[in-house]
Structure 1
Amino acid sequence: MSQDSLNHIEKRAAISLASVFAFRMLGLFMLMPVLAIYGQSLEHVSPLWIGLAIGAYGLTQALLQIPMGWLSDKFGRKPIIISGLLIFALGSVIAAVSDSIYWVTAGRALQGVGAIASALLALAADLSRDEQRPKVMAVIGMCIGLSFAIAMLLGPMIAASFGISGIFWLTAVLALLGIAIVTFVVPSAVNKAPKGETLANMADIRRLLKHPQLLRLDVGVMMLHLTLTTIFVALPGQLILDGLDAEQHWKLYIPVFLLAFVLMAPMMIIAIRKQREKQAFLMSIMMLVLSSLLLVIFNNSVWWIAFAMLVYFVAFNFLEATMPALVSRIAPATQKGSAMGVFSSGQFLGAFIGGALGGLLAQHFSTNMVFAATALIGLIWLAVAWRMEVPPKCKVISLVAEVENDIQAEKLADKLVSIAGVIEATVVREENRSYLKVNDKIFDLDQAKHVLGLS
């Protein structure tokens, strides 16, 4: 088997774990475009509680994302993933049988308790070789993005036929299907990837929160998902006011999402090839602001709303794909797992704050105020991101490095960093691993192995 291609185990792991990710995210996303409409029949409903129900999973996800990763390291990946999916299914059932917005919100919060993202990514890393790990993670990332688009199609269609409870019952079934995939399809890990690549460490987290460039991205992903949930608290109701029946909303969402993906691709290619990543990043934030302003000014027209959402999702897709890669490039080689843990927590926290903010504004002010708030959030983010620094493209690899003490580890790191193409080298004695950030165009892997005594 070529070192440049995925082997059988890696292919199986990538596809099966991506499907588990997709099923779970599909269940979370399907409610977003429909709850503001079909949730009106629930007891005690109000715009604020609609927003809280939409974003409730984000709070528990943000709080438990990192602890669940630690538990998977202690008790094993699969037991924690299966437990998380069972909790997710239970939350779905509670919401499905509820006739009160309070219990629907409680069910959504319980869904978030099954915070298995870090454990899933850690298992994906366990099942892949260093040089193939980025491909496995890319497959998972693409499926998450695809699940969002599918959710925008299925959510309105299922809600129109079976109501809100139908979405939650389907979500519970998908969670159980995920358990079956984890049990019978996902390979069992035969090795463990270095912890620094996948799981968060509390000491590292404190240091990373002081890193100005990473903090800009953590705040950025929080604001990105804050705007998303805020908009969807008000958007479905506005479409109905403009004459587009709830059963027809998918006819707007699907063309918008498909075209947004098509338009985002050349934007990303040009940004990378022309080395204009920062400019494209800032332009995308400006597009978020523009789309929100269009919603404020032209929200009485379905066609203008469609155009505004097209602008929004071209920017959203670009930023959603770009930011994790930037986190990986900026994070110290031994703290990538911690950096991604903080980043993911910021993403889910943004979903919760956005739901609460959108509901609060919708309850006390007009729809225009909800959209104006997203424009203001975008402007604040633009100011935060203005001084962002985009590092050169690099690759992180880890190799076995056996040393007896910290002095030897430091000397070995000095030797490694002197190799052409090595940007950063860290040797972790406790893990018997070396972490290298490299420019793979000029990096000589054989030389690094020679220094480490592996050849």
Structure 2
Amino acid sequence: MSEKIQTTLPHETVMQPQEKQAAFAVAGIFATRMLGLFMIFPVFALFAEQEFKNITGFQIGLAMGIYGLTQALLQIPYGMLSDKYGRKPLIMVGMLVFMFGSVVCALADSIEMMIVGRAIQGMGAVAAVLMATVADTVTEPFRLRAMSIVGMTIGLSFTLSLVAGPLLSELVGVRGIFWVIAALAGVGMVLVMFAVPKIEGQRFQREAEADPAQFKAVLSNPQLLRLDLGVFVLHAMLTAMFVVVPMLIRDNAGMDSMHHWELYLPVMLLSFVLMVPFIIQAESKGRMKQMFVGAIAALVIVQLAMLNFAHGFWSIFLIMLLFFTAFNLLEASLPSLVVKLSPADKKGTASGVYSSSQFFGAAIGGALGGYFYQFYGFDGVFVFTTVLGAVWLFVAISMTQPLPLSIASVSYDAILAPEEMDSLTEKLLSYDGVYEVVILSNEQRIYFKIDRKVINEIGLIDYIHKGLSRE
């Protein structure tokens, strides 16, 4: 029979000012990159058709999505280099590269140069370094809160980008948007220099960084592979859709591109409101699988509706509202599921593979969306996205109902014999709410998965420290 652990909270029950500063600074840097990558989505296809001669649909899609290819290939190497050369220097390098790519796009006089510029933007792949920075600067009990701040900022930045793109296009043109993006990269660098606290005792962060030695185990985990496929499909669908959605709004809703924000703004605001009850049902009521599979089914319905019913403002409005409600729900649920389903000591690697899958999805979705638009028009794109969504739905139906688990870790400075580690593992697993324990003696760190509704994480960490750490 399981025991209930008797724990008391240590004095530090709230995030310290420096931890809050680190979390909000990293969130701000993420925001500058997210705005920079996505502000062009609602306006680029229309701009490219008017600006460049003899352009093809494939080239439009490639320009929109190629940032994902370079991002996917380089984000894990960036994280590994930051372990050696420091977080801040690597973030600065990444932001400089991102700025340079934005300038190339602003000056591009051909679609080929634009594609190169977008690829360079993706080469500033600092996402993994930023997450490791959070882990370096925020203590274990508050990392989930800090990561949540970053995650919320990313979501809000994406929403803002879809509204800001058309507005800025009206004010400064699409080339001007790229100059604004370059300026945002400069703001990001200022945050790195002056807002991110000095990192003391930097180390490899297994909870936030990928470990190449774990790739085989993560890539052979069927539960995690489902999520990798899911985020690949989600971002492939998004990028493929935006190859044609701006033109569809122009042609079928009769809206000039400069006024598209009038559709996107209420759609995005309403979608966030509509998403909340489903998140509550998923996280608080234990209905994650039902909400998750239902949202994927909604995406498939959206693609079919785009094929048959997107013939006026209000029909497009309702279809896009359903799409972004489902999209936002899935975008919030997928990272949570990665945590719930990854082994306790492999969260960083699982998240790295997941993130790379997301960016590969954007690259493939853009290229294939452009290809199908070029040869088969709007309908070709939506048939492609319908098939993608149907494949994901088929795979997701067989997923198991995930438990509401979180991953945490604690360091210790005692020297433990193998039998002592086995005894400690058995002892910790006997407590209600503790589901997995991994002790890595070479790191002198314990990783565990817990149900925070049953056990207090801060108290558990305090208990382990008192039991193992030297005075």
1:165 CA drift (Å): 1.2
Q: Tell me the residue number matched to 1:274.
A: 285
**Is 1:426 aligned to 2:438, yes or no?**
yes
Note closer, same or farther for the CA distance 1:416–1:163 as it changes in structure 2 (3 Å cut): same
**Is 1:16 aligned to 2:25, yes or no?**
yes
Asked whether the equivalents of residues 83 and 204 of structure 2 are also in contact (C-alpha less than 8 Å), the reply is no
3-state DSSP class of the match of 2:436? strand
Asked whether the equivalents of residues 167 and 258 of structure 2 are also in contact (C-alpha less than 8 Å), the reply is yes
Structure 1, 348-357 or 441-450: larger mean CA deviation: 441-450
Q: Tell me the residue number matched to 2:353.
A: 342
Identify which of 271, 280, 284 aligns with 1:260. Answer: 271
Q: Tell me the residue number matched to 2:161.
A: 151
Q: Which runs of 5 or more structure 2 residues have no equivalent in the other structure?
A: 1-9
For 1:287, the aligned partner's letter is: A
Q: Tell me the residue number matched to 1:48.
A: 58
**Is 1:321 aligned to 2:332, yes or no?**
yes
For 1:452, the aligned partner's letter is: L
Q: 2: CA distance between counterparts of 1:297 and 1:328?
A: 38
For 1:448, the aligned partner's letter is: I
Identity of aligned residues (%): 43
Asked whether the equivalents of residues 419 and 447 of structure 1 are also in contact (C-alpha less than 8 Å), the reply is no
Identify which of 194, 200, 203 aligns with 1:190. Answer: 200
Q: What whole-Å deviation, never above 9, does each CA across 1:353-406 have from its counterpart, x for those lacking one?
A: 110011000100020121122122111100111111233212322122333565
For 1:143, the aligned partner's letter is: T
Identify which of 13, 16, 23 aligns with 1:7. Answer: 16
Q: Tell me the residue number matched to 1:295.
A: 306
TM-score scaled by structure 2? 0.93
For 2:180, the aligned partner's letter is: L
1:193 CA drift (Å): 6.3
Asked whether the equivalents of residues 293 and 371 of structure 1 are also in contact (C-alpha less than 8 Å), the reply is yes
1:409 CA drift (Å): 3.9
Asked whether the equivalents of residues 256 and 306 of structure 1 are also in contact (C-alpha less than 8 Å), the reply is yes
Q: Tell me the residue number matched to 1:130.
A: 140
Q: What whole-Å deviation, never above 9, does each CA across 1:284-314 have from its counterpart, x for those lacking one?
A: 0011011111111012222111111100000
Q: How does 1:193-212 map to 2 (within 5 A)?
A: 195-212=205-222
TM-score scaled by structure 1? 0.96
Q: 2: CA distance between counterparts of 1:453 and 1:195?
A: 20
Asked whether the equivalents of residues 72 and 355 of structure 2 are also in contact (C-alpha less than 8 Å), the reply is yes
Q: 1: CA distance between counterparts of 2:470 and 2:430?
A: 18
Asked whether the equivalents of residues 16 and 181 of structure 1 are also in contact (C-alpha less than 8 Å), the reply is yes
Q: Tell me the residue number matched to 1:79.
A: 89
Q: Tell me the residue number matched to 2:38.
A: 29
Asked whether the equivalents of residues 45 and 100 of structure 1 are also in contact (C-alpha less than 8 Å), the reply is no
Q: 2: CA distance between counterparts of 1:283 and 1:112?
A: 32
Q: 2: CA distance between counterparts of 1:153 and 1:272?
A: 29
CA RMSD in angstroms comes to 1.7
Q: Tell me the residue number matched to 2:7.
A: none
Q: Which runs of 5 or more structure 1 residues have no equivalent in the other structure?
A: none
3-state DSSP class of the match of 1:195? coil
For 2:24, the aligned partner's letter is: I
Q: 2: CA distance between counterparts of 1:59 and 1:19?
A: 24
Q: How does 1:56-135 map to 2 (within 5 A)?
A: 56-135=66-145
Asked whether the equivalents of residues 44 and 102 of structure 1 are also in contact (C-alpha less than 8 Å), the reply is no
Compare relative contact order (CA 8 Å, sep 6+) and give the higher one, 1 or 2.
2
Identify which of 240, 245, 249 aligns with 1:239. Answer: 249
For 2:160, the aligned partner's letter is: I
